[in-house]
Structure 1
Amino acid sequence: MSGGLLEARTEEERAALIEQGRLLFARPCQFFFAAQRLDQLPEPRLPEIAFCGRSNVGKSSLVNALTGQNSLARVSNTPGRTKQLNFFDLGGRLTLVDMPGYGYAQAAKSVKEDWQGLMFNFLRGRPNLRRVVLLLDARIETKASDRAAMDLLTEAAVTFQIVLTKADDAKPYWLEQRQQEAAALVKKHTAAHPLVITTSSETGLGIPELRAELAALAEP
């Protein structure tokens, strides 16, 4: 079967999607390309899923957790240092794209500065880009830079899906508030996918569900 978790009508269908995701992300995942300019981008080939978020949101840790490879995406001690697009081949069926972090200064202006040129043109012009996974830190409120990123993604007409990270380190009441806030943000953006997924790279919370969502977009 194909389609995301929202299309699952029974527990059996949901379980089948979860298993598809597990099998896909059990395949080897390898770095194969890095680009710092638009003319350096690899030829469009497999469906692409891009991961983005504020610096220090836990993007590298999430990619590592999805693939089960602790050092696939580098976890930098200097937030915002990476300024290139990194491409990873997942078993010849899907390409994962690690985007630079944005808005470490929290200002919406910094998103436009960080993402001008290469980032925005990649989002707007990549024909095989199926979805952008937009990460929000579950421990803190949504920043102006996050809202600016959503506006830019909507302007680029790219479907994005909100994923909350670091849920293991958020108090239950606060986490519920963050989930409600994310659901409200989805309704305000036409490019937003309706399903918000809460994750923890430490405990594995939400990892099977996110794998299932992305597996539905992979090459058969």
Structure 2
Amino acid sequence: MSTLSADPAMQAAKELSATLFSKPFVFIRGVPSLKFLPPEGPPEIAFAGRSNVGKSSLLNALVGVKGLARTSNTPGRTQELNYFVPEGYAGDADDLPPMALVDMPGYGYAKAPKDQVDLWTALVFDYMRGRSTLKRVYLLIDSRHGVKKNDEVVMDLLDKAAMSYQLVLTKTDKIKEAGIPRLISETLAAIKKRPAAFPEVLATSSEKHQGIAELRIAIALAITL
């Protein structure tokens, strides 16, 4: 579902992805505010998206550990920045993991109390603006609904902060397969003039495990840039 080429850089990224995801990932920390962030060290890859877009399900599929990131049909369940790293690292300066994955609180959930939404929003946006080890944000878009206004607000922020981000379509098993290429084209058109957007859209299905290998390779490439 992606257009990853077979050039040397992509081949190296493919090999690196196999190494990065060869170990099971473990949860190491929930961060309710920026003062609880771990010290900057290994590269970080973050996942953003509207509430109930499927971030937790995608992370579980990505790392191959069922139930690692909690899933729920209740939007807004993830309320912290949740950090995951490959198993077996001490976490000190001499034994850091090769990368960390960060599951961010969902945005755009209108039924949550406004003060809670404001706190979540401030945490996520401040993290994206100020974390030097953050290499890329993967912005998840529900394939059934496409890019919404609140997604555009987040993209505006990422563009302003010059924070590299890439769009990932989720739940593609819920739409007709024949419509996926058109949806990818429409999504690419929506980000064509956005300076910080990576010019490739990935299509995934956590349930069918589709597009996961391509996402792993994209992550490996992102942390080497």
Question: What TM-score range do you get, normalising by the shorter chain?
Answer: 0.7 to 0.9
CA contact (8 A) 1:54 1:101 kept: yes
Q: Residue 65 of structure 1 corresponds to which residue in structure 2?
A: 61
CA contact (8 A) 2:48 2:55 kept: yes
1:87 to 75, 79, 83: 83
Task: Return the alpha-carbon distance in structure 1 between the equivalents of residues 70 and 120 of structure 2.
Answer: 20
Residue 114 of structure 1: CA displacement?
Answer: 6.0
Identity %: 48
- SS of the equivalent of 1:33 reads strand
Task: Return the alpha-carbon distance in structure 2 between the equivalents of residues 183 and 70 of structure 1.
Answer: 31
Q: Residue 32 of structure 1 corresponds to which residue in structure 2?
A: 28
Provide, for residues 73-98 of structure 1, a one-character-per-residue CA deviation record: whole Å limited to 9, x for no partner. Answer: 00023111322101111351110000
Task: Return the alpha-carbon distance in structure 1 between the equivalents of residues 169 and 119 of structure 2.
Answer: 22
Q: Residue 94 of structure 2 corresponds to which residue in structure 1?
A: none
Residues 216, 74 of structure 1: CA spacing in aligned structure 2 closer, same or farther, 3 A cutoff? Answer: same
2:45 paired with 1:42: no
Matched residues, number: 210
Provide, for residues 144-176 of structure 1, a one-character-per-residue CA deviation record: whole Å limited to 9, x for no partner. Answer: 111111112112221000011111111134323
| One-letter identity of the residue aligned with 1:148 | V
2:168 to 158, 163, 166: 163
| One-letter identity of the residue aligned with 1:21 | S
CA contact (8 A) 2:50 2:109 kept: yes
Residue 187 of structure 1: CA displacement?
Answer: 1.0
Provide, for residues 117-169 of structure 1, a one-character-per-residue CA deviation record: whole Å limited to 9, x for no partner. Answer: 22111111101000000000111232111111111211222100001111111
Q: Residue 200 of structure 1 corresponds to which residue in structure 2?
A: 205
CA contact (8 A) 1:50 1:96 kept: yes
Task: Return the alpha-carbon distance in structure 2 between the equivalents of residues 183 and 149 of structure 1.
Answer: 16
In structure 2, the gaps of 5 or more residues are 88-96
In structure 1, the gaps of 5 or more residues are none
Provide, for residues 2-33 of structure 1, a one-character-per-residue CA deviation record: whole Å limited to 9, x for no partner. Answer: xxx857437xx755533432332121311111
2:48 to 52, 59, 71: 52
Q: Residue 9 of structure 1 corresponds to which residue in structure 2?
A: 7
Task: Return the alpha-carbon distance in structure 2 between the equivalents of residues 166 and 191 of structure 1.
Answer: 24
Task: Return the alpha-carbon distance in structure 2 between the equivalents of residues 173 and 7 of structure 1.
Answer: 22
Task: Return the alpha-carbon distance in structure 1 between the equivalents of residues 16 and 124 of structure 2.
Answer: 31
2:128 paired with 1:123: yes
TM-score (norm. length: structure 1)? 0.86
- Of 52-61 and 148-157, more deviation after overlay is shown by 148-157
Residues 184, 157 of structure 1: CA spacing in aligned structure 2 closer, same or farther, 3 A cutoff? Answer: same
Q: Residue 74 of structure 2 corresponds to which residue in structure 1?
A: 78
Residue 72 of structure 1: CA displacement?
Answer: 1.0
2:215 to 210, 213, 219: 210
Q: Residue 16 of structure 2 corresponds to which residue in structure 1?
A: 20
CA contact (8 A) 1:54 1:135 kept: yes
- Of 51-60 and 113-122, more deviation after overlay is shown by 113-122
- Of 19-28 and 86-95, more deviation after overlay is shown by 19-28
